[in-house]
Amino acid sequence: MDSPLVDGFGRNITYLRLSVTDRCDLRCAYCMAEKMTFLPKSEILSLEELETICAAFIARGVRKIRLTGGEPLVRRDILRLVRSLGDCLDRGELEELTLTTNGVLLEKYARDLKAAGIKRINVSLDSLDADVFARLTRRNVLGQVLRGMDAARNAGLHIKINTVALRNVNETEIPSILTWAHGHHMDMTLIEVMPMGEIDADRVDQYVPLTEIREGLEKKYTLLDTLLRTGGPSRYVRVRETGGLLGFITPLTNNFCAGCNRVRVTCTGRIYMCLGRDDHLDLREAVRSENPGRVIHAALDKAMIAKPQAHDFSIRERKAQPATRRHMSVTGG
Ligand code: SAM
Ligand code: SF4
């Protein structure tokens, strides 16, 4: 292996999140504006170029890759990339390949994803009420998402549900989503909304601190703290009554940047060293250069030096500027 990726704070970077497209078949109100300007198609890297970037990260010690977006399953020929990364799993070069999806296209892809080597996926689901789901995502497809999850479970994929807590949208529904998820043997992670990109609403109206949601859940459930860490920012409790796990991602009320092990690459080849910052380095020229291997490795070394210690999200004042100009859909979750 080439020299491992270690940042200026001594953190080992072993996890890559790769956004394969910024486009999506939903328009979740906390993620995107209704009328979005997407990245120009001409700037989007080919699947071969994304494979070259992944290979460079793997050579430097990345052991886990999560494909994300936008919606990763809307990228044409996505299975080609999944299969080629699946081959890295077979050769023992990668330990885990995962995917975050909104579930809309899972019915079509579940079996092929499993066959390519994916074992676990995260499905984002913020409401089980068809009207709330349609208002929030601006698309009336809850039934299709639920069928997609059935297909995924039938294919043998483990699902974790990701739910963003939203004031006056799903805050009172979270206990029943938890009961449903654990009842279907799916763990769940709750996420605080982050002020990324201009959207059509004010973040102050969307934000609910998870401390508040936890207090509500504790009236119904016994939440047992665990030491389980999956290398990410989630802190897990075991719900005694269901036996399932519940994670809390709290970038606003309690960040866990000290243990950060990841960087993100977008579909245009930008590396973002921190989710909460706009600073980035560009790999597009590197991947298209005469000697991509050497030039990409030099860029990765620079990225390690540039990785900041922590993000600094806050949602306090109305009409505040977002923490990042880009939307979450550019780097993925
Ligand atoms: N489209 C896929 C999906 O929804 O799962 C993958 C990309 S999406 C950007 C990844 C995750 O980011 C989802 O769980 C979504 O709920 C979350 N997300 C999007 N915008 C967010 C925001 N502003 N704050 C917190 N989470 C956000
Ligand atoms: Fe699309 Fe995922 Fe963003 Fe929703 S959260 S708009 S599904 S990228």
CATH code where residue 281 lies: 3.20.20.70
Task: Yes or no: say if 18 and 44 are a contact pair by the CB < 8 Å rule.
Answer: no
For residue 327, the ligand closest to its alpha carbon is: 1
Q: Which of 79-93, 113-127, 165-179, 317-331 has the least mean pLDDT?
A: 317-331
- Using the predicted structure, report yes or no on whether residue 237 has a pLDDT greater than 70: yes
Distance CA 47, CA 332 (A): 17
Q: What is the pLDDT of residues 181-200, one digit of tens each?
A: 999 999 999 999 999 999 99
Q: Domain tally for the chain?
A: 1
- For residue 275 the two structure tokens come to 């989710």
Task: Yes or no: say if 233 and 256 are a contact pair by the CB < 8 Å rule.
Answer: yes
Question: What local confidence, expressed as pLDDT, does residue 1 receive?
Answer: 62
Residue 10 in any domain: the answer is: no
For residue 136, the ligand closest to its alpha carbon is: 2
- Using the predicted structure, report yes or no on whether residue 52 has a pLDDT greater than 90: yes
Residue 114 in any domain: the answer is: yes
Q: How many A from CA of 16 to the centre of ligand 2?
A: 19
Q: What is the pLDDT of residues 280-290, one digit of tens each?
A: 999 999 999 99
Exposure string for 106-145, b = 16+ CB within 10 A, e = fewer: bbebbbebbebbbeebbbbbbbbbeebbeebbebebbeeb
Q: For residues 289-313, give the mean pLDDT.
A: 91
Q: What is the pLDDT of residues 60-111, one digit of tens each?
A: 999 999 999 999 999 999 999 999 999 999 999 999 999 999 999 999 999 9
For the chain, the C-alpha Rg in angstroms (whole number) is 19
Top pLDDT among 134 and 2 is at 134
Residue 9 in any domain: the answer is: no
Please give the residue range of the domain that contains residue 167.
15-331
Top pLDDT among 238 and 310 is at 238
User: What average pLDDT does the structure give for the chain?
Assistant: 94
Distance CA 125, CA 94 (A): 28
Per-residue 3-state assignment (H helix, E strand, C coil) for 227-290:
CCCCCCCCEEEEECCCCCEEEEECCCCCCCHHHCCEEEECCCCEEECCCCCCCEEECHHHHCCC
Question: What local confidence, expressed as pLDDT, does residue 316 receive?
Answer: 83
Q: How many A from CA of 103 to the centre of ligand 1?
A: 12
Q: Tell me the percentage of the chain whose pLDDT exceeds 70.
A: 99
Reference 260, options 300, 324, 314, 304; nearest CA is 304
Residues with a CB atom less than 6 Å from ligand 2: 24, 26-28, 31-32, 69-71, 102, 124, 329
Residue 138 in any domain: the answer is: yes
Residue 3 in any domain: the answer is: no
Q: For residues 217-224, give the mean pLDDT.
A: 96
Q: How many A from CA of 276 to the centre of ligand 1?
A: 14
Kind plus residue range of the DSSP H or E element containing 299: helix 292-306
Question: What local confidence, expressed as pLDDT, does residue 272 receive?
Answer: 94
81 lines ligand 1 (CB under 6 A): no
Residue 5 in any domain: the answer is: no
- Using the predicted structure, report yes or no on whether residue 163 has a pLDDT greater than 70: yes
Reference 174, options 162, 156, 160; nearest CA is 162
Q: How confident is the model at residue 215 (pLDDT cuts 50, 70, 90)?
A: very high
Task: Yes or no: say if 53 and 286 are a contact pair by the CB < 8 Å rule.
Answer: no
DSSP 168: T
Question: What local confidence, expressed as pLDDT, does residue 311 receive?
Answer: 82
Q: Which residue has the tokens 């805050």?
A: 171
Kind plus residue range of the DSSP H or E element containing 298: helix 292-306
Q: How many residues does the chain have?
A: 333
Residue 7 in any domain: the answer is: no
- Using the predicted structure, report yes or no on whether residue 155 has a pLDDT greater than 90: yes
Residue 317 in any domain: the answer is: yes
